[in-house]
Structure 1
Amino acid sequence: MNLARGTVHAHLAKIEKLGVMRLSSTRLLPSALGRTISAMVRAEVDQHRIGEAINALGAVPEVVECFAPAGDTDLMMRVVATDPDDLYRVSEAIRLCPGIQRTSTSVFLRQVIPYRVVQLLDAPASGSRNQQPTLANPG
């Protein structure tokens, strides 16, 4: 491909600035760090304290993602743990965060489709009102 290292780094920096690239740390597998258990934790939150809850959840290292979904669940987190006892500890750390009223945990038995986005590069974003920055020419 004959691209200079500086050119590649400059293009990557521009793409990162656009906010369309994940952090490099998301490429690490939690299992490689000893966290072989993965689970989804749903939380019911006191709506007056949702900001406090989110801030406290951000301090729990095992919470690797957190979403605010539509429906009955206020927050949904993907968490990792070393074993069932550790998952219990993580679940308790979440439950004790300010504003968290109730939690429910579902353990993932195995991953059947890994995180992927390459297939989206060729798929049209039909019906999308919010156009994302294009990667065709990051310069």
Structure 2
Amino acid sequence: MTKLDRTDARMLLAMCDAPRATGVQLAAALGLARNTVAARLARWDEDKVLAPVDRCVSPRDLGYPLKAFISAVVDQHRLDQVLVELETIAQVTQITGLSGAADLLIGVVATDADDLYRVAGLILGVPGVERTTMSVAMHEVVAYRTRPLLEALAKP
């Protein structure tokens, strides 16, 4: 895992403000050598520091305005098989392993309520999924973000 430093944070903040900036533009804006910027960008690529571009595309823009989270209790002996099956469902946007009452938190998107019902049925039909509980997202109050963390790291 890559440890990011103050310079990395400054570069990332600049990229948040100007995502299409070139390495030369970043170097000029931050007062860094072009080679420094190029080397860090190359290291980020190698270490997969930046999320894939598909993480930036809103499912709403793809025709999936409805978002929900499904908590699933899973037979632990079949967990690997369950994960492989869940990844085949296109509307599954994320899966997080949990401790506590449920084993997985599955983020899903749907075109409408009927589609959500169908997707929930697909998940419940996966061998090894024992039971599920669904919560429909009504409004995203704070979207996934790291900017405040970057700002804290960028401070001198």
- Do Structure 1 and Structure 2 share a fold, with TM-score over 0.5? yes
Map Cα deviations across residues 77-129 of structure 1 (whole Å, 9 max, x no partner): 111000000000110111111210111110000111111111111336xxxxx
What secondary structure is seen at the aligned counterpart in 1 of 2:127?
Answer: coil
Question: Structure 1 residues 62, 119: CA separation in 2 closer, same or farther (over 3 Å shift)?
Answer: same
Matched, 1:23 2:19: no
Matched, 1:49 2:83: no
Structure 2 counterpart of 1:40, one-letter code = F
Q: In structure 2, how many angstroms separate the alpha carbons of the residues matched to 1:45 and 1:2?
A: 46
Q: 2:87 aligns with which of 55, 58, 77?
A: 58
Higher helix share: 2
Structure 1 counterpart of 2:82, one-letter code = A
Unaligned runs of 5+ in 2: 1-21, 26-34
Residue number in structure 2 paired with 1:3: 24
Cα RMSD of the aligned pairs, angstroms, is 2.5
Residue number in structure 2 paired with 1:118: 147
Question: Structure 1 residues 98, 33: CA separation in 2 closer, same or farther (over 3 Å shift)?
Answer: same
Post-superposition shift, 1:13? 4.1
Matched, 1:96 2:125: yes
| Matched residues, number | 125
Post-superposition shift, 1:10? 6.7
Q: In structure 1, how many angstroms separate the alpha carbons of the residues matched to 2:92 and 2:76?
A: 20
Residue number in structure 2 paired with 1:84: 113
Q: In structure 1, how many angstroms separate the alpha carbons of the residues matched to 2:53 and 2:38?
A: 14
Q: In structure 1, how many angstroms separate the alpha carbons of the residues matched to 2:63 and 2:41?
A: 30
Q: In structure 1, how many angstroms separate the alpha carbons of the residues matched to 2:70 and 2:43?
A: 35
Q: In structure 2, how many angstroms separate the alpha carbons of the residues matched to 1:12 and 1:2?
A: 8
**Identical aligned residues as a percent:** 36
Q: In structure 1, how many angstroms separate the alpha carbons of the residues matched to 2:118 and 2:58?
A: 21
